[in-house]
Structure 1
């Protein structure tokens, strides 16, 4: 579940980075259009604006390259970590399956040993019961034989007194033989029971050991998964922080670009105003030149008029003197 969430988060980040890349490309296109427009109509101010635009465009290109490199590194790190996690999970899964199979086999062996032990105990019990029955029947037969011999000896007037000790000796010998067989059977049964008990205890110990190993493997797997999850969370957090920084830089670039466009527009307006003033100034100079020419012409006419007036006055003054 955690791996799926991390993969979806990385895919989301990649989509966001792709959107940012498209925005950067759009900004680059806008900058290219802006650099080609103001540069042709701004006269001497064009090269300065164009150089600043080129610097801004280079910064945007650098930011785009850095973001693509960060995205590629993040993808490679995630794929490597995911591959390592999958291999570790497969290894732990194989170990768990193997240990589970061993536990199942040991359970079957333990059940088989318990069943064989019970069958052996039933068999030994049946043998002991049969031996006790045989021993009891043999005693009954001996008792009957002794009783019959004693009756016959009494009937014959004491002829059987010599056989009574022999029969008693045979009876004691039979008792001892049966007792030895019984002891041997008990001893053999105890030995077999001890061996079966030892095997059963060994199987139980091995079963418990495998259970402990299985629990330890599961715990280690949980710890490793948690560690991998924390590592992925840190990497995603780091990628998110880098993405936020990139967004902030793009926002700053957008703001700078807007300010650049505003400054370019202001310069264009100032240039247009200066050109208009230049036209007005040239018209004013032309009008001033015409005015000067007219003034000079008027001055020349005035001088001529003054000369004529002086000549007329001189002519009037001469007759009066005569």
Structure 2
């Protein structure tokens, strides 16, 4: 009898967790904006953009006024794994120029599929607000058994990004997978290793204007908790800051369980209902060919759609 109750318990847990997430990340911040933001109260705006809360930790995004390259393996990786951070980094107030580098066209099924998926990536990029000229698709072979020469990745990244820091007009930020590649996918891991080797070769020894961030890989349990663990982290880290800044007018940037050393090299992005809707649109409309039946459970239960943890590679 108790076995038949498990699905109901799981469904209720996820449903109530989603409702709590909606309240924490969307309803509360929007309510605070309505009643405590001077621009909204007076209907006098200093910029062309409506005030909004960035749900990140630390509260001041370290990636600003920069040229940002997301280096990924497959078309759709930008949405499947990076969308909470991508959407935040793209916000106009941060004044970043964001570009996508995809190392393979997604032609595992057939060459024609590769051409189709390139166009889908451009469509998804357009939904995010990224110009087609800022999307680069290379031609590495797709597959679990494929081995990519790291020197080749380094050379390709050098041809796109450049190697002479004196010719760069803005600080440079690279964002990619980590050693675990989200799921242990060898293409993702090679993407990280090639990007890191490129960064180490040309930019690591330079100033803090040049940074490499890697996306933290979650274990199997954590990966499919959807909003459950995100709620806990948000309650501990972000909500106290949000309330303090708006209600009590106190500029705190600490959490009850934060490690100051980790905070300096880690950025946590908490998505809300608006960013989740944008991610769903980019995936279901932009990458329509990939919306097979098994994708829907991933979208519903993957934590990567509501939370990213980028760790700076020092």
TM-score, reference length from structure 1:
0.20
Greater relative contact order (Cα < 8 A, sep 6+)? 1
Determine which structure has more spread, i.e. the larger CA radius of gyration: 1
Point out the structure with the larger strand share.
2
Structure (1/2) with the larger helix percentage: 1
